[in-house]
Chains A and B, each alone.
Chain A
Amino acid sequence: MFKTSRTGRRLRILWIVLLTPPWLVGSLMIAGGLFEGDDTNVEMMIAGAILIGATLPWLAIRVGLPRLWRDMHHSPLTIGLAIPGVLFGSLFLFMGLLEEDEPVIVGIGLFLVAAPLGWCLFRAGQRWRRRQRMVHDLRTYAVGGPIVDTDPFAVIPFVVVGPRIYYPLNNVLLYQDIDQLVWAYGEQTIYWYQLAIWNRDAHAVILPIHVLDAPEALNRLRAVAPWIATGFSRTLVQTWNIDHAEFLALIEQHRTSGQPFAPTWAAGSDTVNVVPRSRQSSQIDFGSASRREQREIERVLTLWSSNQPRGVSLPGPQEQGASVERAG
């Protein structure tokens, strides 16, 4: 079962609370438009449909219903345009066909239906072509074992071949050794989902994935690299950020012994709700937050790469002086 965080459950409740009023009012307006007196009130029906239609794209993304649209799923804009377009286009068509001699309305309706669908098909084609190129590169260059996936990169954004994991990043097929992996978890906002896979050098590859496919992706990682930490918790973050050397040592210990990484303190949810970085947030803080983060990342990377031996011998008080690293 794919576990979600408490924040995720709260978000789901928030979604229900937010979506219920427009759906209720919209349904009442459509019903009212249908049964108003002897005639139908088309305007009221349209208003009701608009109210409901505005919620559809977000609802579709949230519940992950349209698995068939996986290829366009990573772009909320695409769905945000497509669903209302089809919906309103259909209404225009309906109105145009109800009324006699309204070719303009029919034309608008046809355009509204065709344009978003065409855009979706174009985007899906783009992704399909890109994926085919990645698959071609994978079949050409991957070495070390057979490619087990029948349709690589279609559902899971990485492929494991022998001792390496292959993934597309910025339209280039990259790989790294599996024994370098240390940590994986999912990141989620209301719009999108992505998988973060960290390696020993504190580099993470971030792969967009459908939320419904994330459990399978994490399970595959657990199967090929049982020693890695999977899931997200405050304890794991603190341990990674501050007790980095011990964390890597523990992972390495699990890797060499072939044991799955499952200490009780590392238990967490598979996914974490994150806050997307926007240009607005940078404007508000003059970009100081990102500069501060950048400095902190540089600091910890320098610290982690310094490879200082731990447990140095303790100098006695008579050995005061240059041999002792300063503290205060």
Chain B
Amino acid sequence: MSDELPPAAPPPTNVVHQPFRSRPLGLLLLVGAAVPPLAALAQAWFSIFYLGDDPRPVDLLLIALAVTLSFWMVKRGRKLRTRDAAEVLAADSRPPVVYLRPFRADERLQSGMPLGLRHGGRAIESLISSDPTEETLARGLREIGPFVAIGAPGEKFATLGAARMYVGDEEWQAKVDELLIRAAAVVLQPETSAGTRWEVMRVASAIDPRRVLLIVPNSADRPLGYARIRAAIAADFPVPLPSDCTEADGFMFDANARPSPLNVLRRGALAPFVAQVQSLEPNRGGVRV
């Protein structure tokens, strides 16, 4: 028996962390989500109608807990069943809809109350909820093609909405370029960070404006955010966004890059953009037609 240790394996280079995905486990969670509420209801029914007990508050609490657990299982199950963008692109022959946004947009939650540290007084509910923008876009744009995006590094589970591909720090810009070349449409959510500004510049210079859907802060809810984004992209787009736009959180463009406001979160608001993209010739290399 040799005392020599086996040679150490070379350290992996450029390993990209992939989120945990498992379609069977996801299916199991989705199917199993019906069990907790049914079990809680059956328990309450059994104790009231079979044993003849009076209805108890604890039964209501159990049902509420079961419904909450069920919602969690559905959401986690859907996340586990998400497919990698490469798989989605391989399975769908249509050109993709590419979603470009700052990674912070994935983390953002909506809160009905100001966020911060409170001292004294009574505690209140801050009514935190997820931002519905991406899932609304995914639903509204699926008629055009598969909705794909670059995933934020380090995610434990893939985000719902666009199908993610996870790439290393060295290759993300090349991958974005590769996606833009074949994109049927581009959904662009600009910010002032260097990465998103690079994306704005690439899209504004290379993509037919009729294929671009610009997502901006709602001018009624976030006037300062809208003003910031309007100023940030002014140099890249030939026609500036309107300064006094009310209730718009998106813009589509005509052939001369003149913007038309949209309210993308409203039902059916994306229909004009979908129709415009579908009326265009198929994308041939992403260059301006």
Which A residues contact B (CB, under 8 angstroms)? 169-170, 183, 187, 192, 194, 196, 198, 202-208, 234-243, 246-247, 250, 263, 265, 274-277, 280-281, 283-286, 288-289, 292-293, 296-297, 299-301, 303, 310-312, 314-315, 317, 320-328
Q: Are A239 and B225 in contact (CB under 8 A)?
A: yes
Q: Are A204 and B116 in contact (CB under 8 A)?
A: yes
Question: Known contacts A328-B172, A328-B176; is A277 also within 8 Å of B194 by CB?
Answer: no
Residue from A293, A310, A323 in contact with B126 in the complex, judged by beta carbons closer than 8 Å: A293
Tell me whether B33 is interfacial, beta carbon within 8 Å.
Answer: no
Q: Are B192 and A312 in contact (CB under 8 A)?
A: yes
Tell me whether B4 is interfacial, beta carbon within 8 Å.
Answer: no
Identify which of A234, A242, A285, A296 gathers the most chain B CB atoms within 10 Å of its CB: A242
A169 to B192, CA, bound (A): 39
Q: How large is the interface on B (under 10, 10 to 19, 20 to 34, 35 or more residues)?
A: 35 or more
Tell me whether B187 is interfacial, beta carbon within 8 Å.
Answer: no
A215 to B2, CA, bound (A): 85
Contact with A along B148-183 (1 / 0, CB 8 A): 011111000000000000000110111010000000
A310 to B192, CA, bound (A): 7
From residue 201 to 246 of chain B, which have CB atoms closer than 8 A to chain A? 201-202, 217-218, 220-225, 227-228, 232
| Residue in chain B with minimal CB distance to A246 | B224
Listed by A's residue number, 10 A-B pairs whose Cβ atoms lie within 8 Å are A207-B120, A237-B111, A238-B225, A242-B225, A246-B227, A274-B113, A301-B116, A324-B194, A325-B194, A328-B100
Q: Are A246 and B115 in contact (CB under 8 A)?
A: no
How far apart are A216's CB and chain B's nearest CB, in angstroms? Answer: 18
Contact with A along B98-130 (1 / 0, CB 8 A): 001111100111011111111111111111100
Tell me whether B84 is interfacial, beta carbon within 8 Å.
Answer: no
Q: Are A276 and B117 in contact (CB under 8 A)?
A: no
Question: Known contacts A242-B225, A312-B192, A325-B195; is A283 also within 8 Å of B61 by CB?
Answer: yes
Q: Are B172 and A326 in contact (CB under 8 A)?
A: yes
Q: Are B114 and A240 in contact (CB under 8 A)?
A: yes
Q: Are A277 and B125 in contact (CB under 8 A)?
A: yes
Q: Are B119 and A205 in contact (CB under 8 A)?
A: yes
Which B residues contact A (CB, under 8 angstroms)? 61, 64-65, 68-69, 72, 100-104, 107-109, 111-128, 149-153, 169-170, 172-174, 176, 191-199, 201-202, 217-218, 220-225, 227-228, 232
Q: Are A284 and B64 in contact (CB under 8 A)?
A: yes
Q: Are B224 and A285 in contact (CB under 8 A)?
A: no
A42 to B270, CA, bound (A): 70
Residue from A242, A274, A289 in contact with B222 in the complex, judged by beta carbons closer than 8 Å: A242
A274 partner residues in chain B, CB cutoff 8 A: 113, 124-125
| Residue in chain B with minimal CB distance to A297 | B115
A194 to B173, CA, bound (A): 50
Question: Known contacts A246-B224, A246-B225; is A327 also within 8 Å of B102 by CB?
Answer: yes
A187 to B113, CA, bound (A): 11
A289 partner residues in chain B, CB cutoff 8 A: 125, 128
Q: Are A284 and B65 in contact (CB under 8 A)?
A: yes
8 smallest beta-carbon distances between A and B, as pairs: A206-B121, A328-B150, A327-B195, A202-B116, A246-B224, A277-B123, A243-B225, A275-B125
Question: Known contacts A297-B116, A314-B197, A327-B102; is A239 also within 8 Å of B222 by CB?
Answer: yes
| Residue in chain A with minimal CB distance to B168 | A326
| Residue in chain A with minimal CB distance to B196 | A327
Q: Are A276 and B122 in contact (CB under 8 A)?
A: yes
Question: Known contacts A235-B222, A238-B222; is A326 also within 8 Å of B103 by CB?
Answer: yes
| Residue in chain B with minimal CB distance to A322 | B169
Q: Are B124 and A187 in contact (CB under 8 A)?
A: yes
Residue from A196, A239, A301, A320 in contact with B223 in the complex, judged by beta carbons closer than 8 Å: A239
